[in-house]
Amino acid sequence: MAIQRKHTMFHSTIVDAGPDAVWAVVRDAMQVVKIVSGPAAKDVHWAEGGSVEQVPSRYDFTLVFNDGLVQQEVAGRNEVDRSQTYRAIAPTMGVENYAATIRVRPITNDPNRSYFEWARELEIADDADPEVVGAIIAMMEKQTDSVRDHFASPEK
């Protein structure tokens, strides 16, 4: 995969849970990091007095594969539209800028399922290690499926 200086990603999936149930979980950045990263992230915590109810709110975690510190911030949230935007507050591992929005939408004819989408924009540093950036992007490409799988019924 060729990594471009400006890299845009969009992933979506159908989740086997109603939009309110999904939103109750994914509006909490700590839960999202744990769901999508599992053992690949450690020391996941709110920083500088941040919390799930405070916007903006900073949180940090460390990627296990290279001990890279990730510092991000919930930058905006819309409870009515069930959307949340977050961004990197410091460059990390070759990613100079990062912004993302997650959104949970209802499925009109199926109130027990929802549509989950994740849009991201990354700016890659000219001197970034292609293997590290490739590993980060590969991890991100699987994260929407992790959200879907988190809500899947055990019998499916």
Q: What is the pLDDT of residues 3-57, one digit of tens each?
A: 668 888 999 999 999 999 999 999 999 999 999 998 989 999 999 999 999 999 9
Residue from 102, 88, 92 nearest 133 by CA: 92
Average pLDDT, the chain: 91
Residue 75 lies in a domain: yes
CB neighbour list of residue 120: distance below 8 Å, 6 or more residues apart: 8, 9, 10, 98, 99, 100, 101, 140
CATH of the domain at 73: 3.30.530.20
Q: Across-strand partners of 8?
A: 121
> What DSSP assignment string belongs to 130-154?
HHHHHHHHHHHHHHHHHHHHHHS-T
Residue 156 lies in a domain: no
Residue 1 lies in a domain: no
Is the confidence at residue 156, as pLDDT, over 50?
no
Residue 26 lies in a domain: yes
Residue 41 lies in a domain: yes
pLDDT digits (tens, 9 = 90+) for 81-106: 999 999 999 888 788 889 999 999 99
Tokens of residue 116, six digits: 């989950």
Residue 94 lies in a domain: yes
pLDDT at 155: 60
Residue 22 lies in a domain: yes
Distance CA 77, CA 92 (A): 24
Distance CA 69, CA 21 (A): 30
**Per-residue pLDDT band at 2 (split at 50, 70, 90):** low
pLDDT digits (tens, 9 = 90+) for 124-151: 888 888 887 888 888 888 999 999 999 9
State how many domains the chain has: 1
Tokens of residue 91, six digits: 């460059």
Residue 31: domain span:
6-151
